[in-house]
Structure 1
């Protein structure tokens, strides 16, 4: 509904914008069009408020939605320059932090630190960094849907939403969070303020306890920033996404050359929870990750692909002259099939791929025959990345092997995979 003015002061305009901001559902700005004032008259009222640092005019020129305060306001000089020249038709008015600090009742937001930040005028797309361990309880709770790559999401599985199986305080949605890179080792989590504010009071406090105070230590992953803030496509694939897409290409190539799929399952639409960045740099976490990776690789190889072109079994005679038959492992079958069928100019690539499959298997259960204390070591972050990088390159090699088949000459691999446009972390 339009607000019609015959005579209004700057102070009244500030009070109106403040009331609108605090009472709106998402801390929205007061649309100028609702005021039904002549632009020149409005500029006269706005100028002293902008000069005093009490009001900010958002024109939607820095972020496409002027109804949210996405970013920190520009300098006062820039604001005054825009006020003199910019079109006010689609602009929105926002009280500033300096003004809101004096009028907002903090008790209204008790237990909701991130909602309070928005109420005080901090930008919706401002962000905080967190220790990765904050994600652990969500990842390990099957009542949550959890995904984490360069970007992630947390929500309640449908069967638990609104049910007594889960307290209302825990029925939370975190619409988006992203990978944050440390400037030395490892990584963290970055979340925009607007998403944090939607958490329940209990979960806002849990996240607050894991907030990293040293903002200079982290930087948002470039592709998370690019897609979330700029609205652009990702520049490259993550190692995890590239790995899964290579699996799909391998199976598609197998079908193209008239064979059963090499992998019994692909996981592009249903990522295992542990298939992602380590949440804690511990030996147990790394072993769990390697276990999932091994199940996706060696345990997932389909023997039918090889069409009995190499033996699947070994026979030997025991000391009682009885014939004992043992099944060959899938890694060995794959290795012997490649050696029998493929002539490659770079055999070291094949050797590296097979060695990687064996290394993944070794790492999946390093404590199988002994009891050892768990290890916490930030170097394990880099060890996981190396393991994942090797696993991805092993799949690239397998895909390139299938591309050598005469029937695959007309098969086109997507450029992003063919050019290996993949982040190294």
Structure 2
């Protein structure tokens, strides 16, 4: 009878479709003693609402003491669910062509995070049949609406997270995905991910925000520096309204959402092509987005500047901004060094792919260059907001607390 009980629990796990545990209440008789023996023999393990929120899936490896497991069975506690152990399942040597489904068949936990070469994401970003939604430290992959229903191997990843090498950290980015999501992919899709599977899994860790949010269910109050720039731009435009001048930025974007310009994000693959695409996006959002009418408008306490120089040529927006800021703001700071030069460097780098033929290169140092560029850009935009805050009435404008303190702004 003990073997029959073990078979019932095992068959239920393997054939449930979602690798669910067998509820204790499904037995029509009391098999407490036999189940406890199976627990002692490392063939059955117990989850219950006393241990986890949802005992019907084996989400995480918990290593619950056997005596505690048996106590739940004896007391017939709420939501007691039985599973074949990983040790027992491996002894069965169940075959499957799908590598990640095989891991669940062997009893591994559904929320186990597996790490892959980040290059796997480029295959989706470069393929218009897919949409990759990215937000700070996590994202998802879906099939584009116009291709939905076609034979795309059911490639849907509900959640993937940014990971790092434990020693190299930001020098080596990887992608982490839940085993449960990978196991639902088709054979071809699983094999594609398997090619990018990192052998030394123990050398990598997932981003703290991803772990807190999706594993622990905690609220993550840190903000990406990319979103911080967009928030600063919104505040600056509100200040312009109070100052009686046109918005400094012709367009603002929605921070903290997936609705952000393409390539305005961290690079997943450190290539020159991706770096220049990022620079182009940054130039469009900041430089090309500057409204020269802000500088030519007369308002209370504000002196405008001329649109043309002495020779009758139109001035560039950044030159106008430099002249306008120096004319209207009294400060010991070097405005060009603080604001103008970092923004001009964006335009300077952008000139390379715009006017030269270049060879694409793979270079992990580009991660560092991108981080340095976004930091300097943020400092410049933040400085504008700080200068504008001194205008009468602008201190009354609501500013997100994290922008004021700067404590929760992160570079992922």
TM-score, normalised via structure 1 length = 0.86
Match of 1:285 in 2: 274
Contact 2:238 2:397 in 1 (8 A): no
Any idea what the Cα deviations from partners look like across 1:132-167, whole Å, max 9, x if unmatched? 1111121122232212231111112222212xxxx4
The count of corresponding residues between Structure 1 and Structure 2 is 396
For 1:233-382, list aligned pairs within 5 A. Answer: 233-268=219-254, 269=257, 270-308=259-297, 309-316=304-311, 325-344=312-331, 347-348=333-334, 351-382=337-368
* C-alpha separation in 1, matches of 2:123 and 2:182: 16
SS in 2 for 1:159: helix
SS in 2 for 1:190: strand
CA drift of 1:258 comes to: 3.8
Match of 1:93 in 2: 82
Match of 1:177 in 2: 160
**Is residue 168 of structure 2 the alignment partner of residue 168 of structure 1?**
no
Match of 1:419 in 2: 405
Match of 1:154 in 2: 141
Extract unaligned runs of 5+ from structure 1: 1-8, 317-324
Contact 2:326 2:335 in 1 (8 A): no
CA drift of 1:245 comes to: 2.3
* C-alpha separation in 1, matches of 2:387 and 2:250: 19
Contact 1:169 1:202 in 2 (8 A): no
For 1:185-264, list aligned pairs within 5 A. Answer: 185-264=171-250
Aligned CA RMSD, in angstroms, stands at 2.2
Structure 1 residues 35 and 342, CA gap change in structure 2 (3 angstroms)? farther
Match of 2:13 in 1: 21
Structure 1 residues 204 and 313, CA gap change in structure 2 (3 angstroms)? farther
1:31 to 17, 23, 46: 23
For 1:63-82, list aligned pairs within 5 A. Answer: 63-74=52-63, 78-82=65-69
* C-alpha separation in 2, matches of 1:83 and 1:304: 75
TM-score, normalised via structure 2 length = 0.89
Any idea what the Cα deviations from partners look like across 1:373-409, whole Å, max 9, x if unmatched? 3332211111111111222222222222222221212
Extract unaligned runs of 5+ from structure 2: 298-303
Contact 2:100 2:179 in 1 (8 A): yes
Match of 1:6 in 2: none
Structure 1 residues 248 and 186, CA gap change in structure 2 (3 angstroms)? farther
CA drift of 1:256 comes to: 4.2
* Farther off after superposition, 182-191 or 257-266: 257-266
Contact 1:147 1:273 in 2 (8 A): no
Contact 1:349 1:397 in 2 (8 A): no
CA drift of 1:96 comes to: 1.5
Structure 1 residues 196 and 261, CA gap change in structure 2 (3 angstroms)? farther
